[in-house]
């Protein structure tokens, strides 16, 4: 399949280039970049030297339509909605990595982001979390790739929420992310001296991903969910670790709950449920498309504590986008995504 990337020079775009360049069934056609128009991407990111010596171009919808079958849009929130409708109108399939088409409810989107200029596409967009929406992804022309925090959080909670095993009124998600989650654009909060030897919470009680997690878990539960989500910034490059707390609705121990999780995800190539007594670490998933999940039941408080880890740039963004490409194309879902965690 001939594919192109719109917005290829951010961290997510870089990961898409790296993955797609080695994908055995993909021809990488066009890379667009507003900031680096005319520059070769391997001069911007020299790890690509001799591997992907492709010149970045200005966005040209007609040229994309002539050369590509599918386009990844790795653009900021609010910018994708200006581009995606034009690509779809040309008959292209789109995998969008922004938040612009992730929601079912327009009011929810606009209350957390901004006014939307193509809400009519909401009904066509499929939320691209393969573990929950694989069948819908297969026939879609617009896949809305999930956010990184929502991927880790939803996968941690889905087996509980789907089967009504936890109280939906007091779920708490305490999540930590590496600094690449803030993107490549310079900001004071991601400067070395601000991040190094530091650990801090941010956007407490008002992070946009709260609404995405609530909506998707609410669909599973068939009722509205309101939860607490607090993100933190880790002094590392990549990775997310989410610690989820929820009160159990029935008497169940860790061993039984782990068996439930293992059965729930038994056919999933990229979800690994830890054995009893073991918990995930970012080291185990960084550089891979895996989501690792472990849990413990606190029998004293009747609360389950679930730990979920992913690489925010891979299973939380570019890797999941390639996973969605594989599903759309009818290929093996793991194609081009066989890397294990880096560990070091």
Catalytic residues: 148
Instruction: Transcribe 204-240 into DSSP letters.
Output: TTT-THHHHHHHHHHHHHTS----EEEEEE-SSSS-E
DSSP 30: E
Q: Which residues pair with 309 in a beta bridge?
A: 241, 292
With b meaning 16 or more CB within 10 Å and e meaning fewer, what string describes 277-288? eebbbbebbbbb
Q: Let me know the angle formed at the C-alpha of 213 by 210 and 219, rounded to the nearest 5 degrees.
A: 135
SS3 298: strand
Question: Which residues have C-beta within 8 Å of that of residue 118, sequence separation ≥ 6?
Answer: 81, 84, 85
Q: Strands of 88-209 (E only): list them.
A: 93-96, 126-127, 142-144, 172-177, 200-201
Exposed, middle or buried, 47 (CB in 10 Å: 0-12/13-18/19+)?
exposed
Distance CA 179, CA 185 (A): 11
């Amino acid at each position: 399949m001939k594919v192109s990337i719109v917005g290829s020079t951010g961290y997510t775009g870089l990961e898409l280039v790296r993955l797609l360049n080695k994908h055995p069934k993909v021809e990488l056609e066009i890379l667009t970049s507003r900031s680096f128009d005319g520059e070769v991407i391997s001069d911007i990111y020299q790890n690509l030297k001799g591997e992907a010596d492709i010149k970045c171009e200005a966005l040209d919808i007609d040229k994309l339509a002539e050369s590509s079958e599918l386009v990844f849009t790795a653009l900021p929130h609010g910018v994708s909605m200006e581009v995606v409708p034009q690509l779809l109108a040309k008959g292209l399939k789109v995998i969008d990595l922004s938040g612009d088409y992730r929601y079912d409810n327009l009011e929810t989107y606009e209350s957390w982001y901004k006014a939307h200029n193509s809400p009519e596409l909401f009904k066509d967009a499929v939320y691209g979390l393969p573990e929950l929406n694989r069948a819908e992804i297969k026939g879609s022309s617009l896949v809305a790739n999930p956010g990184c925090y929502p991927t880790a959080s939803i996968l941690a909670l889905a087996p509980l929420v789907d089967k009504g095993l936890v109280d939906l009124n007091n779920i708490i998600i305490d999540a930590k992310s590496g600094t690449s989650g803030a993107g490549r654009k310079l900001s004071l909060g991601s400067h070395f001296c601000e991040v190094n030897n530091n650990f801090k919470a941010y956007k407490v009680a008002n992070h946009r991903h709260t609404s995405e997690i609530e909506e998707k878990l609410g669909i599973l539960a068939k009722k509205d969910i309101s939860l607490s989500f607090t993100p933190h910034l880790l002094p590392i490059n990549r990775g997310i670790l989410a610690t989820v707390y929820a009160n159990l609705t029935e008497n169940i121990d860790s061993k039984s709950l782990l068996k439930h999780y293992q059965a729930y995800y038994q056919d999933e190539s990229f979800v690994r449920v830890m054995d009893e007594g073991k918990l995930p670490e970012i080291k185990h998933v960084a550089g891979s498309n895996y989501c690792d999940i472990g849990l413990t039941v606190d029998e004293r408080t009747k609360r389950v504590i679930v730990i979920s880890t992913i690489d925010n740039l891979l299973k939380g963004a570019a890797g999941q986008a390639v996973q969605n490409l594989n599903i759309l194309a009818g290929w093996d879902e793991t194609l081009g995504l066989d890397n294990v965690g880096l560990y070091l």
